[in-house]
């Protein structure tokens, strides 16, 4: 059984909606950091409370709810689940507009994490059933481009937004009453997402075209039990592990860019506005080139018969990311650093497309959302541990705030070089894993009629 061979315009329109969902999710994640100064002043928050809002408040629910969301997506309508998830995180974003104390704002961020946990498991599952294996990376590339588009909007609009609302008096709204400017931003950020959630109900819900339940075990409703799905991953750890560790390395290196505002200020004398505009333009410009290139390269490799074609693109990407992220923190000038950061972004576009695309090749339609949830849960937990935190510890150990660039380069080398080696040595196991899944799909198809 194969997915749609030539995707009709309606399907590409649906992928466009997934692009918008990715962009919106990143905007909603960025909002608290963009508005943190007036929020802190208005609610009299401590630095500890600010830290909870910007980190664990979102990450905890995002990680813990990913697996239940994936489990549901393997059993029920993915478009309905996705529409509901978008509606939840947008309403929780609006809830922040009513926050008059820390607890309510914390609840809002927990809810955003809850809603966004379903996005990637549902989206990758839908794309995998809309497109056959060789066409899939192009659709994944378009969806993942939404992450850089959302980040670009945040960087380009964050400075002007903050400058604008800082000078505004409280705003009087019908029914609601008087709200602070930062609360107004949260209130108006939610409704566009509710429209997107409604539009998501119109996307086609494809049949699950690659099934292995009959071969590995399924219940009477033709659903693979959660334990069986997890066992499916565990038994193929040699195929999954290189992809997970390499992608975790790439993602962890990517999180080091959270230090970039401080890096460009300390090392090159750039103010926040100058860096924000430059970073936004890099995200936008490189994303427009990098993601289509990644999708084209991966599809070309798969059409040429290379089962590890997507992993080859990932290898190319991380081989760009690592030297670029060692170079740009140590660059002789801000201009050279920006050029190095652009190269880093190109590599991240390749990894950001090839990683999820590779995962779809190792899974089937009836376990794909569950395995995707586990995969991204592991990535998130690893990146939280070995992402930006060790850089701060290393700077403290070096005893010089100006050593930030050195600390970033050291961590990049410590993470990136092993990730490249793990990927190189794991490609053979990945090819075997893909071949085995293809055999299971064929075996399952021969044992049962199309569902």
Which pLDDT score is estimated for 451?
46
- Which of 123-132, 154-163, 332-341 has the lowest average pLDDT? 154-163
d(CA 36, CA 38): 6
Tokens of 338: 């920006």
pLDDT of residue 8: 76
Inform me whether the pLDDT recorded for 316 exceeds 90: yes
What pLDDT does 399 receive? 83
pLDDT of the residue at 429: 94
Model pLDDT, residue 158:
66
Q: Are strands 177-179 and 171-173 parallel, antiparallel or unpaired?
A: antiparallel
pLDDT digits (tens, 9 = 90+) for 65-111: 888 999 999 999 999 999 999 999 999 999 988 988 888 988 888 88
Terminal-to-terminal C-alpha distance of the chain: 11
More reliable by pLDDT, 313 or 50: 313
Please say whether the beta carbons of 34 and 162 come within 8 A: yes
Sign for the CA dihedral angle at 66, 363, 213, 229 comes to negative
Q: What is the pLDDT of residues 28-62, one digit of tens each?
A: 877 787 777 788 888 888 867 876 776 677 777 78
Of all residues in the chain, the percent with pLDDT exceeding 70 is: 94
CA 61 – CA 63 distance, rounded (Å): 5
pTM of the model: 0.88
The mean per-residue pLDDT over the stretch 142-170 comes to 80
Neighbours of 72 (CB within 10 A): 21
Handedness of CA 147, 30, 244, 440 (dihedral sign): negative
SS (H, E, C) the chain: CCCCCCCCHHHHHHHHHHHHHHHHHHHHHHHHHHCHHHHHHHHCCCHHHHHHHHCHHHHHHHHHHHHHHHHHHCCCCHHHHHHHHHHHHHHHHHHHHHCCCHHHHHHHHHHHHHHHCCHHHHHHHHHHHHCCCCCHHHHHHHHHHHHHHHHHHHHHHHHHHHHHHHCCCCEEECCCEEECHHHHHHHHHCHHHHHHHHHHCCCCCCCCCCCCHHHHCCCCCCCCCHHHHHHHHHHCHHHHHHHHHHHHHHHHHHHHHHHHHHHHHHHHCCCHHHHHHHHHHHHHHHHHHHHHHHHHHHHHHHHCCCCCHHHHHHHHHHHHHHHHHHHHHHCCCHHHHHHHHHHHHHHHHHHHHHHHHHHHHCCCCCCHHHHHHHHHHHHHHHHHHHCHHHHHHHHHHHCCHHHHHHHHHHHHHHHHHHHHHHHHHHHHHHHHHHHHHHHHHHHHHHHCCCC
**pLDDT digits 0-9 by tens, 387-428:** 777 888 888 888 888 888 999 999 999 999 999 999 999 999
The per-residue pLDDT for 449 is 54
For residue 336, is pLDDT > 80? yes
Give the per-residue pLDDT at 282: 94
- What pLDDT was estimated at residue 55? 67
Contacts with 346 (C-beta within 8 Å, 6 or more apart), sequence order: 286, 289, 290, 320
Beta bridge partners of residue 171, listed in sequence order: 179
* Length of the chain (residues): 451
Cβ partners under 8 Å of residue 266, min gap 6 = 401, 402, 404
CB 279 within 8 A of CB 121: no
Output the pLDDT for position 159: 62
What is the mean pLDDT of the segment spanning 201-209? 89
For residues 411 and 413, give the distance between their C-alpha atoms in angstroms, rounded to a whole number: 5
Contact predicate 354/314, CB 8 Å: yes
Cα separation, 329 vs 332, whole angstroms: 9
Query: Among candidates 385, 352, 380, 365, which has minimal Cα distance to 65?
Result: 380
Q: Which two tokens stand for residue 245?
A: 């560790």
Query: Which of 41-50, 326-335, 360-369 comes out lowest in average pLDDT?
Result: 41-50
Q: What is the mean pLDDT of residues 442-451?
A: 65
Please state, rounded to an integer, the average pLDDT across all residues of the chain: 87
Angle at 363 between CA 25 and CA 5, to 5 degrees: 85
pLDDT in tens, 417-430: 999 999 999 999 99
Give the span between the Cα atoms of 392 and 376, in whole angstroms: 25
Q: Which residues pair with 179 in a beta bridge?
A: 171
pLDDT > 90 in the chain, percent? 45
Per-residue model confidence as pLDDT tens digits over 129-140: 999 888 999 999
How far is Cα 24 from Cα 15, in angstroms, rounded to an integer?
14
Phi (first) and psi of residue 114, to 5 degrees: -60, -45
Q: How far is CA 44 from CA 92, 171, 185, 282, 434, in A?
A: 21, 20, 19, 35, 54
């Amino acid at each position: 059984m194969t997915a749609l061979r030539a995707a009709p315009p309606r399907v590409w329109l649906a992928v466009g909606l997934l692009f918008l969902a990715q962009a919106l999710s990143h905007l909603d994640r960025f909002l608290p950091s963009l508005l943190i100064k007036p929020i802190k002043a208005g609610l009299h928050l401590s630095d500890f409370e600010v830290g909870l809002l910007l980190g664990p408040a979102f990450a905890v629910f995002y990680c813990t709810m990913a697996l239940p969301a994936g489990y549901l997506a393997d059993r029920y309508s993915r478009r309905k689940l996705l529409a509901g998830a978008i509606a939840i995180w947008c309403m929780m974003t609006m809830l922040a507009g009513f926050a008059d104390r820390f607890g309510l704002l914390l609840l809002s961020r927990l809810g955003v994490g809850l809603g966004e946990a379903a996005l990637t498991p549902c989206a990758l599952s839908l794309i995998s059933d809309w497109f056959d294996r060789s066409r899939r990376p192009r659709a994944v590339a378009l969806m993942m481009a939404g992450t850089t588009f959302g980040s670009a909007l945040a960087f380009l609009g964050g400075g002007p937004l903050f400058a604008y609302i800082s000078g505004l008096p409280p705003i009087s709204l019908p029914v609601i009453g008087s709200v602070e400017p930062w609360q107004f931003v949260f209130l108006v950020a939610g409704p566009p997402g509710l429209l997107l959630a409604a539009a998501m109900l119109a996307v086609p819900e494809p049949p699950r075209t690659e099934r292995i339940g009959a071969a590995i075990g399924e219940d009477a409703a033709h659903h693979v039990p959660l334990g069986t799905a997890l066992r499916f991953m565990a038994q193929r750890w040699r195929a999954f592990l290189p992809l997970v560790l390499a992608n975790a390395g790439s993602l962890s290196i990517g999180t080091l860019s959270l230090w970039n505002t401080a890096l460009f200020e300390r090392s090159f004398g750039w103010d926040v506005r100058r860096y924000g505009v430059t970073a936004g333009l890099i995200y936008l410009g490189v994303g427009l080139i990098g993601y289509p290139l990644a999708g084209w390269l991966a599809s070309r490799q798969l059409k040429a018969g290379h089962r590890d074609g997507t992993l080859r693109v990932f290898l190319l990407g991380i081989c760009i990311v690592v030297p670029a992220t060692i170079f740009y923190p140590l660059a002789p000038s801000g201009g050279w650093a920006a050029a190095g950061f652009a190269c880093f972004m190109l590599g991240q576009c390749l990894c950001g497309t090839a990683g999820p695309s590779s995962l779809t090749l190792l899974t089937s339609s009836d376990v794909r959302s569950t395995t995707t949830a586990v995969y991204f849960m592991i990535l998130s937990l690893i990146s939280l541990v070995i992402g930006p935190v060790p850089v701060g510890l290393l700077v403290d150990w070096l005893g010089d705030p100006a050593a930030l660039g050195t600390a970033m380069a050291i961590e990049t080398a410590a993470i990136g070089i092993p990730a490249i080696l793990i990927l190189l040595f794991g490609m053979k196991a990945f090819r075997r894993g893909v071949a085995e899944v293809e055999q299971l799909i064929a075996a399952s198809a021969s044992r049962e009629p199309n569902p």
